[in-house]
Amino acid sequence: MKLWKRAAFWAFGWTAKVVASLWLSTCRISEFGRGIEEKYITQFPDKGLLYASWHRGLFFVFYWYRNQNAVSIASASEDGELAAQAAKRFGWITARGSSSRGGRQAYRAMEDLVKHGHKGGLVVDAPRGPRFVSKLGIIYLAKRTGIPIIPVIWSADRSWKLQSWDRTIIPKPFARIVALFAADYIRVPAAASREDCESYREQLDGALNHIMYQADHFFKETGATDPRQIEVPDPVPLPE
């Protein structure tokens, strides 16, 4: 990579951190369901955790879990370099690779770190979709490490939606943000077959879409005090 491009990526990372930190500091963040995370950490303090979310919420994820030495994977592309630089400034560790380029090495690096107590986070429909359909990578990671997956989603009462493949959402200044954890984590047995792993992948998709519906509708429901109380249709309608 040329020197000027390296410098541009470096500058982008710091700019992204400063702007996002100032921006999101104006927002009011409410969390629901985090007890599932705390329960596991209390029982297994030396173990890591795996968090799964959709790519649309990447803007907020780095900020939310900042300065925790959490680990993720960024694609080997130039877009991935931008994400990696931003993640680094928020205190994340990034392994480089994707489903098409260097993915195996990246997952091995992430596996080693979460085994030693680091939190791991993946936007599971990355790097290029299809939107709201997870890849098997995090399922295999959970299988190999024995560490559970916690689905988590955020939404906001006022936000912009970009016309990107993932429909990235960016909260507006002074927005109210809700972060919602699934009711239970997903464990993948070490003996799980490929067919089993596909079933767990579908279970993950279902859990993410369930809480995404609740988070997205939380601010639309008159008098709602907890997004987990919102009834979810079956099948779950997905955002456009």
pLDDT at 155: 97
pLDDT at 102: 58
Round the CA-based radius of gyration of the chain to a whole number and report it: 17
| C-alpha closest to that of 160 among 25, 56, 31, 54 | 56
Return the structure tokens found at 234. Answer: 């079956």
| C-alpha closest to that of 37 among 179, 132, 203 | 179
**Tens digit of each residue's pLDDT, the chain (240 residues):** 677 777 887 888 889 889 999 999 999 999 999 998 888 888 777 788 999 999 999 889 889 999 998 999 887 777 778 888 888 999 999 887 765 555 788 888 899 999 888 999 999 998 888 999 999 999 999 999 999 999 999 999 999 999 999 999 999 999 999 999 999 999 999 999 999 999 999 999 999 999 999 999 999 877 789 999 999 999 999 998
Return the structure tokens found at 144. Answer: 């190999």
pTM: 0.90
pLDDT at 172: 96
Cβ atoms of 54 and 132 within 8 Å: the answer is yes
| C-alpha closest to that of 33 among 232, 210, 226, 213 | 226
The CATH class of 3-229 is alpha beta
Residue 170 and residue 101: Cα distance in Å, rounded? Answer: 28
CA 81 to chain centre: 17
List of long-range contacts for 102-110, beta carbons under 8 Å, 24+ apart: 102/76, 103/73, 103/137, 106/73, 107/73, 107/137, 107/140, 107/141, 109/71, 110/71, 110/72, 110/73, 110/141
Residue 184 and residue 33: Cα distance in Å, rounded? Answer: 9
Domain ranges of the chain: 3-229
Helical H runs in the chain? 3-24, 35-43, 58-64, 78-89, 103-115, 137-145, 194-218
Cβ atoms of 87 and 155 within 8 Å: the answer is no
Residue 168 and residue 206: Cα distance in Å, rounded? Answer: 20
